[in-house]
Amino acid sequence: MRILVVEDDQIIREGISEYLSEFGYDIIQAKDGQEALIKFNNNEINLVILDIQIPFLSGLEVLKEIRKKSNLPVIMLTAFNDEEYKINAFSSLADGYMEKPFSLPVLKARIDSLIKRHYGSREKFEYNNAEVNFTSYTAKYNGEEVDINAKELEILKYLLENEGHALTRAQIIDNVWKETDEIPFDRVIDVYIKELRKKLGLDCIVTIRNVGYKLERKWRI
């Protein structure tokens, strides 16, 4: 899991990063709002730890930009006791907040809980009238069994694991096709995506022009 830590205080930022790295998290750091959005847009991020008071763009401004593209978990950090900041954070679709000073073990517990809740088990997927079981490689649409092949489901699972992030056709091929498989032309991915949309009604698979595809379910407040 890759976490973006956005904090202008170097000691706090590096302290969080070093602590979480000990538990196997891949950490990317940003010291201000502009750098945060650049790092977010150029990396596959799974969770964001975001200070409210940072230079150039505030944490809440950064959060609003993130929510235009992704529903990944975001924890806000604040030194303020002002209730208005908390209300603003939640109305901007943050998943929680922590007031400074805070305990690193408590922060990690919050992160673990959010990741479990948000990503959970990737063995099942439900969207509107579609139901997919990645363990049994079966799928249903409107309660009826759907004839679907393994590669279609593996592509769907990879999109799900990177929900909210645009993936190139090359990325999908690199992660779905094994070394022993015959590597297809990248446009073959278009055919698989078309079949997934048709068989399971997955309008949540969005085409990103000149890039590839991303899975993006509507954010529910």
On the question of pLDDT at 219 being above 50, the answer is no
Note if the bond before 101 is cis, omega within 30 degrees. Answer: yes
Beta-carbon contacts of residue 154 (< 8 Å; ≥ 6 apart): 176
Task: Provide the whole-model pTM.
Answer: 0.58
Contact 183, 173 (CB under 8 A): yes
Residues 110-138 have a mean pLDDT of 83
pLDDT tens profile 24-59: 788 999 999 999 999 999 988 989 999 998 999 999
pLDDT given at position 117: 78
Q: Which domains does the chain have, with CATH numbers?
A: 2-119 (3.40.50.2300), 124-215 (1.10.10.10)
pLDDT given at position 13: 97
Q: Cα dist. 195→57, 124, 133, 158 in Å?
A: 41, 19, 17, 16
Beta-carbon contacts of residue 131 (< 8 Å; ≥ 6 apart): 124, 125, 139, 140, 141
On the question of pLDDT at 166 being above 50, the answer is yes
Supply the DSSP symbol for 80: -
* SS3 of residue 196 by DSSP: helix
Cβ-based neighbour number of residue 139 at 10 Å: 22
Residues 64-91 have a mean pLDDT of 78
Residues 54-75 have a mean pLDDT of 91
Q: Which amino acid is at 181?
A: D
Distance, CA of 66 to CA of 84 (rounded, Å)? 21
pLDDT given at position 92: 63
pLDDT given at position 120: 63
Measure CA of the first residue to CA of the last residue in the chain; give whole Å: 24
pLDDT tens profile 132-156: 998 889 999 999 999 999 999 999 9
